[in-house]
Every structure is written in structure tokens, then in C-alpha cells.
Structure 1
Amino acid sequence: MIIDLKNEIGKDLIVRLDAEHLFKKLEGNSQKVIMDFSDIDFINRSFAQEYLNRKMVVDYEIEEINVPDVVKNMFNVILEWNGYDLRY
């Protein structure tokens, strides 16, 4: 299953609630999910924190593709703040 975040949410990933809704749509999913970050221009801390928190507790694999530097950098900030030694 591939989710195009630009079409699903928009070019700017801002609202924590959008991340919540995204993962609620995937409840009960058991297959690998590919999150396509193509053409994402901005991500804020709230969305990134919620996305990563939810990603860590799901029972299925999530792979991110076409992740722009702005998203990678924010994910790395969130991971570092939370004491994880992971890099995007």
C-alpha cells in the first residue's frame, strides 16, 4: 500500500491531528505501508512527533520514500530529542 502524503494531507505537514487521522485510517492494517513524501515542502515539529510516535507502535512495517531534506532533518531532531540514535 502506497500513501502519497501530498495528496492525502497537502504539501505542508503541520497539524498533529493530520498525523493522527492518517494512522487511524490504517488501523487494522497488516501489510507494509509505503509513505511517499514526494513534493512535501514543510513539516513542523508537532506533525513529525506524532508521526514518529505512531510509527513506532504499529504492527506493520512503514517505509518512507522520496523524503526531502526538510523532513529528514525534522525527523532527526525529534529522534535526537527523544534519545534515539537513529538517522534518516
Structure 2
Amino acid sequence: MIINLKNEISSNLIVRLEAENLFKQLDEYSTNITMDFSGIEFINRSFAQEYLNRKFSVDYEIEEINVPDVVKNMFNVILEWNGYDMRY
């Protein structure tokens, strides 16, 4: 299943609740998911933190595609801040 975040949410990923709601919907499917970040122009720390927390706590695989630098950079800030030894 491919989820286009721009179409599902917005080109600006801002609200933590949007990430929560996204994963609540995905939990119903419990299958491997591909998150398409094409067209994303901005992501704030709250959304990124919630997204990564949820991603690492689910029982299914989540892959990201078309991840712009603005998203990679924010994910890397969150990962480093939380002590993960990985980079996007």
C-alpha cells in the first residue's frame, strides 16, 4: 500500500495529531506501507517526532520514498536527539 502524504494530509506536515490519526488508520491494515513524501515542502518537529515514534512501534514495515531534504534533515535531528544511531 502506498500513502501519498501530500494528498492524505498536506504539503506541510505540522500537527502531531495528523501523524497520530494517520497511524490509527494504518493500524487497521497492518500490512507493509510505503510513505510517499513527494511534494512535501515542510515538516515540523512535532509531526516528525510523532511519525518516527509511531513508525518504530508498529509491527509492520514502513518504507519512505521521494523524501525531500527538508524531511530527511528533520528526521535526522529527531533521531540524533533520541539517541538512534541511524540517518535518513
Q: Aligned equivalents of 2:30 and 2:15: distance in 1?
A: 26
Contact 1:29 / 1:60 at 8 angstroms: preserved in 2?
no
What is the RMSD of the two structures over their aligned residues, measured on CA atoms?
A: 0.6
Identity among equivalent pairs (%) = 78
Q: Which runs of 4+ in 1 moved over 4 A?
A: none
What TM-score does the superposition give when structure 2 sets the normalisation length? 0.98
1:3-82 to 2 correspondences below 5 Å: 3-82=3-82
Shift of 1:29: 2.3
Q: Aligned equivalents of 2:9 and 2:83: distance in 1?
A: 28
| Residues 5-44 of structure 1: CA deviation (Å, up to 9, x unaligned) | 0000000000000000000001132321000000100000
AA of the residue aligned to 1:45: R
Q: How many residues are treated as equivalent by the alignment?
A: 88
Q: Aligned equivalents of 2:40 and 2:60: distance in 1?
A: 24
| Unpaired runs of at least 5, structure 1 | none
| Unpaired runs of at least 5, structure 2 | none
| Residues 50-83 of structure 1: CA deviation (Å, up to 9, x unaligned) | 0000000101000000000000000000000000
